[in-house]
Structures are given as C-alpha cells and as structure tokens.
Amino acid sequence: MNPKQTDRRRFLKNGAALAGLAIGASASALPAAAAAEPALEKVDELHLYGERSHFVTDVRNGSINNPERRLKDEAVAFGLRTPMQDSVGMITPSPLHFTISHSFEPPDIDPAEHHLLIHGMVDRPLIFSVDEIKRLPFVTRFHFVECHGNSSPRGPGGDARVAVNATPQETHGFTSCSQWTGVLLSTLLKEAGVQKGATWIIAEGADEPKHSKSIPIGKAWDDALVAYGQNGEPVRPEQGFPLRLIVPGWQGINNVKWLRRIDLVDEPYMAMMETSRYPSMRLDGKSRWFEFELGPKSVITRPAGGYKMPGPGFHEITGLAWSGAGAVKRVEVSTDGGHTWKDAQLHDPIARKSHTRFSAPWTWDGKETVLLSRCTDDQGTVQPTIAEVAKLWNADIDFLLKTQQVVGDFNAIQPWKVNADGSVQNALV
C-alpha cells in the first residue's frame, strides 16, 4: 500500500475526532494581537545569539533545583535531566542536554592551548592541537548519550522508588541525542600506527579529577569519534568543550569529556570509575566489571507522568526509542495495559544508535487504562518487561524496585497509568 495513501486514510479516519477539538472555540481562544517589541536592551542579545521565547520555560531538573535532594557536601549539581516530556523531534537542544557532574564544574579551557596526546603502544606518538584535528576529514552523525542508571527504579536523588507522579524527565531524563561532528578515532589511530598487542585504549579528560575510561580497541576502530561540534556549533563546555569522545551506543561514562589523552595499552587500567562506581553487583555477590552496549529502550513522552488530559477523544501518543546496538526497527504501542499492541509510526531521521521519534493515534474513551511502548532494534532484540529484566538478574521484581543499586542497563518497558480524570501517573511502582 502506498504510504501516502495510508497516511491520508488515517487522517480522514481521525478527522471527526480532530474536528471535535475545534468545537466550542470562541473569540477568546483566537490569537491575541502582536505583542510589543522587546525592550531595546534585549535587542542586541536577541540578534547576536538567539534566545528562546520567554513563554518557553522547560528546563533541566536535578539537585540544583531540588535543594531537598542535594547532598550537604555536594559542590555542584550531580545530575541535570533533560525535560523529555517537552521534547519535539529527536534532537535534544544543546542547552537541555543532560549532564552528570562528579562534584566538579566544567574546566574553562582555551581551545588554542588545548592538545590531544595519542601515545602508548603506537609507532608514532602524536600531539594534535584542536585546529589540527579540525583540518582532518570529519563525519557528522546523530547519536544519543545515556547514563547507565537512566530509567532505574531507584529514581531521582537516589530515592528507593521513582515517585508515582514522576514525569518522563525524572524517569528517563539521563539520555539526550545530538548531531555530533568530529574526526573518527580510527583516523587518528591510523596516523599514530597502532602496534600489535594493543587491545585497549585509555581515554582521559582534562577535568580536575582526570576522569579516565578503559575501552576495548575494537570500538575505537569501529565508530568512536573525537567530536568538536554539537548541533551545528562547538561542543558546549559542560559537554566537553573543546573535544569530547563519543562512543556510540555505549554507557555514557565511556564518552570522556574534555578529552586530552588516549593511551594504547594491552589491558584495562581498572580506574576508579571502573572499580568502585560502575560495576554492577549481582545478588550472588559477584560483579560485572564492564558493561558497554545499551539495550533497546523506549518511553512514551506524551501523554505521560505529570500530564493531565483535558478529556476523552483523540490524542496523539508520542515518544522516543533508541538502541545501543543499531537503529530502531519497530516500536509498538499498547493502550490497554499490554493486552494488545499496534505498530507506531517511526519519524525520520532514523539513524543508528540515535533517538527515534514515534507516534500513534489514540481515541481515549475516558476509562482508566495503562499505556506502554516497546522497541525492537535492527538486530532483532526486543525491549524487555520488568519481569524479564528481573529473571536476567536472578532477582524478583520487588527487589528491582526497592534496591539502591543500579542493576546493569535497566531498559524495562515503562508503563503510564491513565486515570479516569485524565491524570497520568508512573505505573512502574
């Protein structure tokens, strides 16, 4: 069937419901007259670097605007979450890209003074200036970055459970998607000449604690890149200006910011983050030292937690899906708690290891129900239920919901409960 005909039929089918939205419109609902021009002192700011409308107020959240969740000795906000419920399309605006700080503010780096060293098991140790990296062949690609603790049931601020009234920002706000521009790491490695026996790279940042991460060299040869651009402009300081390592589809901790050094070695270094904060503890006392690729995941962002539907009738369900293994192949939506599923529409662009926007039409009858979405990637892997995640980790569901421990890559299907009054709540708890 012709896709255009299918879209047209769907539009006509929902035409009556859409028309119903307009019934009752009055003169008071019509657009107001054009507002007065901004004050003169704001004109230069608006022209020199664009500013969003003051009517748009969505912001990141975290301990910086939740003082009761902020630790007494926390120097800076630990985590700022992207407002997923307000997102449009699949790109996250750079100012709203999530950020996690391990108690240090972003370093103030002069790009003219910054250099990237590649050394260790190489034939030719090299030092690149930022300008020299920009002279090399570049790529521009859409990729998401995601903290491995994103969507964990432990919730914002380390709560034992995500709150019943949590929004998508609070449940899934530790992922964002940008258009990254930079040089493939493989290009730099070829210039240096990797010696036989080098099996890992150690990437190190220029931040105060010198965060470092061990990464198998196969990923460096595959699709890792040294990015200097984000969404058409230089990478933002809190995202790693002037250089950031992007490791597509892998846990966010691998995407080293303020990149200054890459060491070619024959074994992982087992740095602090790899030995104390990011191993996944199992119930039998053993740990997974390294977890890299993130599984398929999706979340309905509207209607979702914190939203109040005005009443029965037509609603367009929308959300985001992604997978660390490749591209999103399929997203299914259920409006009856998982009893039946229907394919959602995937919206372009659909890129590998990137967020993908999906939508599905729904006419709500005003009764209580549960909304779900599940993602299937191009490797055939299907997003699991919480029961399937619990089985994988040899745990029961109640343990997963109560534990303070982040259990691996928690990518269980997120349920949203729609109440009869139109309010929507988190149904995972």
Helix (H, G, I), strand (E, B) or coil at 315: strand
Please indicate, yes or no, whether residues 239 and 364 belong to a single structural domain of this protein. Answer: no
The predicted pLDDT at position 26 comes to 42
- Can you tell me the distance from the alpha carbon of 248 to that of 386, in angstroms, rounded to the nearest whole number? 25
φ, ψ of residue 20 in degrees (nearest 5): -60, -25
Say if 283 falls within a structural domain. Answer: yes
Say if 34 falls within a structural domain. Answer: no
Last residue of a domain, one of 288, 320, 338: 288
Please indicate, yes or no, whether residues 303 and 240 belong to a single structural domain of this protein. Answer: no
Please indicate, yes or no, whether residues 257 and 392 belong to a single structural domain of this protein. Answer: no
φ, ψ of residue 243 in degrees (nearest 5): -135, 135
The residue range of the domain holding 258 is 115-288
CA distances (Å), origin 353, targets 22, 137, 178, 267: 39, 22, 11, 27
Please indicate, yes or no, whether residues 243 and 263 belong to a single structural domain of this protein. Answer: yes
Task: Kindly report the CATH number assigned to the domain that includes residue 323.
Answer: 2.60.40.650
Query: Tell me: the pLDDT tens digits for 289-301?
Result: 677 899 999 999 9
Q: For the packed helices 3-13 and 15-22, what is the interaxial angle rounded to 10 degrees?
A: 50
User: Is there a contact between 252 and 147 (Cβ–Cβ < 8 Å)?
Assistant: yes
Say if 385 falls within a structural domain. Answer: yes
**Over its length of 429 residues, how does the chain's per-residue pLDDT go in tens digits?**
444 445 545 544 555 555 455 444 444 444 554 555 556 566 666 778 888 888 988 888 875 445 444 444 445 556 889 999 999 999 999 999 999 877 678 899 999 999 999 999 999 999 999 999 999 999 999 999 999 889 877 654 444 456 888 999 999 999 999 999 999 999 999 999 999 999 999 999 999 888 899 999 999 999 999 999 999 999 999 999 999 999 999 999 999 999 999 999 999 988 777 766 666 666 666 666 677 899 999 999 999 999 999 999 999 999 999 999 999 999 999 999 999 999 999 999 999 999 999 999 999 999 999 999 999 999 999 999 988 988 887 777 777 776 655 556 789 999 999 999 999 999 987
Last residue of a domain, one of 263, 288, 313: 288
Please indicate, yes or no, whether residues 201 and 280 belong to a single structural domain of this protein. Answer: yes
Please indicate, yes or no, whether residues 331 and 225 belong to a single structural domain of this protein. Answer: no
Please indicate, yes or no, whether residues 246 and 375 belong to a single structural domain of this protein. Answer: no
Please indicate, yes or no, whether residues 202 and 342 belong to a single structural domain of this protein. Answer: no
Task: Kindly report the CATH number assigned to the domain that includes residue 162.
Answer: 3.90.420.10
Please indicate, yes or no, whether residues 303 and 360 belong to a single structural domain of this protein. Answer: yes
Last residue of a domain, one of 288, 312, 331: 288
User: Is there a contact between 318 and 352 (Cβ–Cβ < 8 Å)?
Assistant: no
The predicted pLDDT at position 402 comes to 66
Query: Tell me: the pLDDT tens digits for 392-405?
Result: 877 777 777 766 55
Please count the structural domains in the chain.
2
Please indicate, yes or no, whether residues 192 and 264 belong to a single structural domain of this protein. Answer: yes
Residue 76 CB-density burial (10 A; 0-12 exposed, 13-18 middle, 19+ buried): middle
pTM: predicted TM-score of the whole model, two decimal places: 0.88
Please indicate, yes or no, whether residues 369 and 325 belong to a single structural domain of this protein. Answer: yes
Say if 119 falls within a structural domain. Answer: yes
φ, ψ of residue 151 in degrees (nearest 5): 70, 10
